[in-house]
Amino acid sequence: MTMMTAMAVHEFGPPENLVPVRVQVREPGEGEVLVRVKAAAVNPADLGMREGRYLWREPARMPLVPGYDVAGVVEAGTERFPAGTAVIGYTAHSKTQIGTYAEYVTLPERLVAAAPVKLDWAAAATLPLAGLTAQTALARLAVTAGETLLVNRVSSAVGRYVAQLAAERGIAVVSLEDDGSDSDGVVDVALDVVGAETALATFARVKDGGRYATIVPEPWIPGGQFTAARGIDPVTVAVNETVGDLAELSRLADEGILRPHVAQTLPLAAAAEAHRRMAAGGARGKLILEP
């Protein structure tokens, strides 16, 4: 029986509840790959997992290992991803309850793709969840060249990737950062990546009959805190496996279109500290855990 170290919670609560645990490495089944984790990105959703605010399809199982994003090397694989292949992947945690705050992770091959060759492990680990969310948001909003898209925090992980994907497609992007540095004109389409009062200001900027979406619903209802108004039908964006394309994210990263930004790398054992730093805000870029 092969064992590994993971960071997990035995009960929901503060960052201190994230502690090292020894758990069994799950051997891959048909169509699955076993990945040695080189880097795992920390996402806001991970904080919700640790606190018990996250919405899983089934009751949470303890000890619960958080983590959506992984970059690593296939240890035991498939014909498509043989051993030794560098990959990125995401865990579809709401369905699988598989976490990447660990030395190894076993995933269906549909949830992994070849890693970009021009990025290091930490940068590559920023791509899956944020990149897939950005792809899904642009598809859901059906933004086209010539329209103006407001992203209320372009400096966020999702915001950066939305802006970079939009630029490649000839879509103008304006921001609504904390310093209010952009213009205050009306926009065709808006994406909320912040929530709360910032979402209110964002929704107000959309033209009558325009389009608005959020990735941080409050509460978990279509459109977050908004209902249809002024001819705008707010929607909630979540990663959709049929829309997002991990392989495309890798290709765009290698072409320099997607440019990850890593704020800091920390050892896996410092997962609690990473959660504290994310909760405090102010980090410009992704926090990365390395086993």
Residue span of the structural domain in which 100 resides: 3-127+260-290
Residues 53 and 120 in one domain: yes
- Rounded CA separation 66/92 (Å): 11
In a domain, 244, yes or no: no
Question: Burial level of 22, CB count in 10 A (0-12/13-18/19+)?
Answer: exposed
Domain total of the chain: 2
Q: How far apart are CA 137 and CA 102, in angstroms?
A: 29
C-alpha 9/C-alpha 177 separation (Å) is 34
Residues 181 and 282 in one domain: no
Cα-Cα-Cα-Cα torsion 7, 9, 10, 14, nearest 10 degrees, comes to 140
- Output the CA torsion sign for 148, 151, 156, 161: negative
pLDDT tens for the chain, 291 residues long, are: 699 999 999 999 999 999 999 999 999 999 999 999 999 999 999 999 999 999 899 999 999 999 999 999 999 999 999 999 999 999 999 999 999 999 999 999 999 999 999 999 999 999 999 999 999 999 999 999 989 999 999 999 999 999 999 999 999 999 876 544 455 678 999 999 988 888 888 999 999 999 999 998 764 455 556 778 889 988 889 887 666 799 999 999 999 999 999 999 999 999 999 999 999 986 778 999 999
**Does residue 242 lie in a domain region?**
no
- Residues 111 and 92 sit within 8 Å (Cβ to Cβ): yes
The residue among 236, 252, 280 that closes a domain is: 236
Is pTM beyond 0.85? Reply is: yes
CATH number of the domain bearing residue 83: 3.90.180.10
In a domain, 222, yes or no: yes
Q: Is residue 10 part of a domain?
A: yes
